[in-house]
Amino acid sequence: MATQQINFTKKTIQELPEAAKGKRDQYQDTRTKALRLEVTDKGKKTYKVYRKMNGRPIRYTIGDVQDWSIENARAKAEEVSALISKGINPNVEKQRVKAEITFGDMFKDYMERYSKKHKRSWKYDEREVNKFLKHWFSRKLSSIHRDEVLRLHDKIAADNGMYQANRLLERIRAIYNKAIEWGWQGSNPAQGIKKFKEKSRDRFIKPSELPFFFEALNEEENETACDYLLMSLYTGARKSNVLSMRWTEIDFQQSEWRIPETKNGEPLTIALSNEALDILNRRQRKTNQKWVFHSDKTDGHLADPKKAWKRILTNATIKFWQAHEHIAPLIQEAIKQTDNIKYDQSLYAAIETLAKKKKFELPTGLMDIRIHDLRRTLGSFQAAAGANQYIIGKSLGHKSQQATAVYARLDLDPVRESVQLASSAISSAGNGGRNG
């Protein structure tokens, strides 16, 4: 029987009859030419790929129709067809993966064939797997068992937190899933392991904490890092977007910042408050680089300023402690013992040691604040100024099904007003002094 051309739909495939006894019927998808469907005399239906390479036919089995949706089968056929176009025999590639492969080699394949091509966060895959799973690289995939993954999940949670443990578990599961999809005959050791329940984070800089934070910012020597942190605070933009901010994205006349691509893959226009514009105007007078926050070490933009951030939080926390009457004497004693009046890590450590010795429990202060919490701080001040959830969501670039219709109707004016009110409140609280 000649190959018949039909449009593959769930209904047409279901209605295909069994082949004659001892025969196999072949059907070609009208939408994806390389995709075929084989039907046996027992009614078994299998997706396949048929292409020619150097004049010779290549037949590749995708899988049973019960295991593959039509769209996934089409996507797989396109992937296999692309390999054949490059002169790569997918069956040879499949056999290579079927052979016992190490976790390290599989991870390389995962990065090159999938992560770097399809994930904007591929750098995190590369960093985290190399950091936590390098001891598995020389081991065969089949030698890593479920109990090992479970123990590692528990250990990472204890050492690095539940969030980190859950993300690593997801990466292990994804790597094994791709290995199976690409022909490895084994089981996924991460399958069935439950993630730890994560608590949504609600930390932001409180109005009472802002004066200490701003004082510490003013005393920090790394001006670029300080400007970056203030810009993060006044725009509420994500860390990666602020770090990679370019001058070409800034419209000074409209007081807007156009981010070409955000986390959700879409562009975002941010209304710039007067406070944000002051920072930009000051920086523009000092630099002719393409980056607003250029790096002093490379031609690129500023990297995550972890050291400056830690110094600022340490400084702010010591100031926060000293402002409390019942803690201030302890701070003064530590200063005398260390002969150090600079609010740095050494003084912080001395205060902690003295507090432990005296069995005095210190409050956390500002040490638990993360850079991402600056984004939440702007939102909290917007809420305090009376902005509704849709205005806040619009200004922060949130995307949800419930808010989509409302977002479409919002122009930037009410958003700008909300951001300006919040920025002014932040600036007033931070620069007003402890008694202001």
Better pLDDT: 127 or 433: 127
How many separate domains does the chain show? 3
For the chain, the C-alpha Rg in angstroms (whole number) is 29
Task: Identify whether 61 is part of a domain.
Answer: yes
Domain boundary among 81, 97, 113: 97
Contacts of residue 290, defined as CB under 8 A and 6 or more positions apart, other chains included, come to 246, 247, 248
The reply to whether 172 and 118 lie within a common domain is yes
- Phi/psi of residue 387, each to 5°? -70, 145
The mean per-residue pLDDT over the stretch 10-18 comes to: 93
pLDDT of 99 = 73
pLDDT of 297 = 85
The whole domain housing 248 covers 210-306+369-431
pLDDT of 402 = 46
Task: Identify whether 395 is part of a domain.
Answer: yes
The reply to whether 92 and 130 lie within a common domain is no
The mean per-residue pLDDT over the stretch 372-384 comes to: 87
The reply to whether 30 and 116 lie within a common domain is no
| pLDDT, tens digit (0-9, with 9 covering 90-100), for 246-267 | 999 999 999 999 998 877 667 8
The reply to whether 267 and 389 lie within a common domain is yes
Helices in 121-206 by DSSP H: which ranges?
A: 122-132, 146-160, 162-181
With a cut of 50, say whether residue 401 has pLDDT above it. no
The reply to whether 249 and 132 lie within a common domain is no
| pLDDT, tens digit (0-9, with 9 covering 90-100), for 130-180 | 999 999 999 999 889 998 999 999 999 999 889 899 999 999 999 999 999
- Phi/psi of residue 9, each to 5°? -130, 165
Task: Identify whether 350 is part of a domain.
Answer: no
CA 248 to chain centre: 25
pLDDT of 261 = 81
What CATH number does the domain containing 148 carry? 1.10.150
With a cut of 80, say whether residue 202 has pLDDT above it. no
Of 33-47, 149-163, 220-234, 386-400, the one with minimum mean pLDDT is 386-400
The reply to whether 73 and 110 lie within a common domain is no
Single-letter amino acid, residue 79 = E
DSSP state of 30: S
pLDDT of 436 = 43
Cβ–Cβ < 8 Å for 100, 142: yes
The reply to whether 245 and 111 lie within a common domain is no
Task: Identify whether 81 is part of a domain.
Answer: yes
The angle subtended at Cα 11 by Cα 6 and Cα 16, nearest 5°, is: 60
Count of CB atoms within 10 A of residue 67's CB? Answer: 11
The mean per-residue pLDDT over the stretch 179-189 comes to: 89
With a cut of 70, say whether residue 404 has pLDDT above it. no
* Mean of per-residue pLDDT scores for the chain: 88
